[in-house]
Amino acid sequence: MHSPIGDLTISEDEGEIVSIDWGWARDQKATPLLKNAKRQLEDYFDGALETFDLPLRVEGTDFQKQVWREMCKIPAGKTLTYGDIAKRLKVSAQAVGTACGRNRFPVIIPCHRVVGANGLGGYSGAGGVETKIALLELEKAMMPL
């Protein structure tokens, strides 16, 4: 799909979304689930959707899944620091950052809402920090200094 942050490819396997990747993939068959995911993402980019309702196949370590669950608790327009999540999970902020970087569902699992204590921090998606800024601006989030 085309989006304001670049082309995204949504992938499905056996009735679950398995990833959202940067760029354009060829030869995809449009299924009802992929059409629904595309519609929800379009609604998000139009400012009409804040929370996604899609079956995700979330694969990772138990720790990564904990971090991703914490990210999903951050409402649109809000941010938490890597340190905030680290304190909740009693781990290092760096470990949280590493888990954020392994998120296979950008936008849907909102790693862009996790920022550094002294600024935005990084973003592993296409466009890097500029994409993170665009998503936070879309959500009208307060930008960290």
The residues annotated with a catalytic role in the active site are 111
d(CA 70, CA 129): 21
In the chain, the amino acid numbered 63 is F
Please give the C-alpha separations between residue 94 and each of 14, 56, 111, 113, 132, in angstroms, as whole numbers: 34, 25, 14, 16, 18
Alpha carbon separation from 125 to 31, 75, 114, 129 (Å, rounded) = 25, 20, 13, 8
